[in-house]
Amino acid sequence: MIPIAVVVCVMGGWCTVYLADTLLRSSSSVKNRYESWLSSNGFTLSPFHIKWHTGIFNRLFARCAHLNPHFLYIWFSAGMVFGVLAMFGSVVLLSKTLLQTLHQMMADTPDGSHEQVLQVVVPGVNLPVSQLAYFFIAILVSGVIHEFGHGVAALREQVRLNGFGMFMFVIYPGAFVDLFTTHLNLISPVQQLRIFCAGVWHNFMLCVVALSFLFLLPIFLFPFYYTGAGALVTEVVEGSPSSGPRGLFLGDLITQLEDCTVRGVQDWHSCVQHLSHNPQTGYCVHTAKLHLSYTQGRAFKRLDGTMECCGNNSLTDLCFSYSNNVESKLFACLPVRKTIEASRTCHTNTDCQTDFTPSLCLIPSLENQTRLIRVKHPPQTDMLFVGYSSHLQYSVSLTNFVPRLGFLHPDLPVMLETFCKYPSNAVSIYIIINFQSIFTAILQAPYFVDSLLKRKT
């Protein structure tokens, strides 16, 4: 959930602004100057809402609208086609989302295996509070690019631009262009479509640029960061199974999970999924390590049917199962780190018959869905994780980029990656926002053509 401190700061900030505005307006000595300053600078204040309108960018919009008329005609015509197709695509996505929601509402037991196509972003629920800044900056940048497209397209279609503005509603930032409505209503529906679709088209191109930059990020950062050597730890959740004296630390480079090689973050997730969906890995242990003192003790069944032979809940010992030529299944309580240190992985005794030293395949006897995972992060000692694989997967934050120099911060590539992923979310938002305008222009097109034909006759 959203931290109380964030809510208090937001509410306190807006209350301070509104209180200061009320005091200045009620003061007879500064009221006129204050309101004159607000009016001359284009500011408008209301509870939890501030708006700024200006005309200083009108020349910039005009210059962009007259750079290359032929190119701009092709550019905004392509945007018109994309906008119309995207509008119908958004209808399909909204319909599918509605059907999924109704199906979940009518189902006796909710099915969480299928995620919805479109999901509402709720800060603190499905949007981490730590990424709020990325989200709102991306929304602001996408809004400015969106309105820039509307403004340039409008001037190209001979629609007067009164000004450009930005606003803040509670914590949601945005932008807008002020077009002369009379001019907008006089032009043809095709021209209107070019204007209405220009914003979405620019958002789509911003998404293409962001994804291209994300794809080429290893090349851009090559002089400062290298990739392919492993997954670099950037954060460890405090109190998680991955923390502690024998756990992971900031700057550790994970290279292997059991016998699964890790060259990056994607390999990390793939290896964790592979280990969680396959039987527990065993370890080749020399028979000399199976001391009699360790093997003594009676094994008993847990509630889930698995076997336990370490009854003292030791933090260093673990119950292993194995078989020999005499008995099919035996159990031994062994010190886990000493037992599996430098041991090869196996699934049967046959996997261990590769040298002259007699070895057996010992498999940890753990509860269902629980795994023993050996995490290699040289030069540190291997981390031994016992628990659910998902707890290991989500208790650390990783990056593919390893700094070449000590003063380079490992979080910089993470920040660039995260920021590049958010503009793509704005495309669907602005398609839905411009849905009505695009649909109205399409409906008006037949009537406009019919009126032209009547004029000619």
* 35 assigned to active site: no
Per-residue confidence band for 262, with pLDDT thresholds at 50, 70 and 90 = very high
The residue-averaged pLDDT of 76-104 equals 81
Catalytic residue among 35, 115, 147, 157: 147
The DSSP call for residue 381 is P
Phi, psi of 365 (to 5 degrees): -95, 95
Alpha helices in 128-247 (DSSP H): 132-156, 181-186, 189-215, 217-220
Query: Using an 8 Å Cβ cutoff, are 289 and 335 in contact?
Result: no
User: Any idea which residue has 């003063």 for tokens?
Assistant: 407
Per-residue pLDDT tens for 363-415?
A: 888 888 888 999 999 888 889 998 888 888 888 989 999 999 888 888 888 88
pLDDT, mean over the chain: 81
| pLDDT at residue 344, rounded to an integer | 86
End-to-end Cα distance, the chain: 66
Say whether pLDDT at 131 is over 90. Answer: no
Q: Which residues contact 55 (CB under 8 A, 6 or more apart)?
A: 162, 163, 164
* Averaged pLDDT, 162-170: 90
Distance from C-alpha of 198 to C-alpha of 2, rounded to nearest angstrom: 35
Is pLDDT at 204 greater than 70 in this prediction? Answer: yes
The residues, ordered by sequence, that sit 6+ positions from 405 with a Cβ below 8 Å of its Cβ are: 224
Cα Rg of the chain (Å, integer): 32
The residue-averaged pLDDT of 106-113 equals 58
Whether 293 shows a pLDDT value over 50: the answer reads no
Q: Where are the domains of the chain?
A: 62-217+421-456, 230-409
C-alpha to C-alpha distance for 336 and 313, rounded to whole angstroms: 13
Taking only the tens place, the pLDDT of each residue in 39-57 is 888 898 888 889 999 989 9
Q: What is the mean pLDDT of residues 181-196?
A: 85
Query: Is residue 126 predicted with pLDDT exceeding 70?
Result: no
For residues 34 and 105, the model is more confident at: 34
Single pTM value for the model: 0.75
- The answer to whether residue 447 scores a pLDDT higher than 60 is no
Distance CA 257, CA 371 (A): 12
Ordered strands of the 396-399 beta sheet:
253-254, 231-236, 396-399
Query: Residue type for 100, please?
Result: Q
**Which one has a higher pLDDT value, 69 or 88?**
69
Q: Is the dihedral of CA 269, 274, 275, 277 positive or negative?
A: positive
Cα(321)–Cα(304) distance, integer angstroms: 16
Q: Name the DSSP class of 87.
A: H
Average pLDDT, integer, range 423-434: 61
Question: What span, in angstroms and rounded, lies between the C-alpha atoms of 179 and 159?
Answer: 7
pLDDT at residue 146 is higher than 60: yes
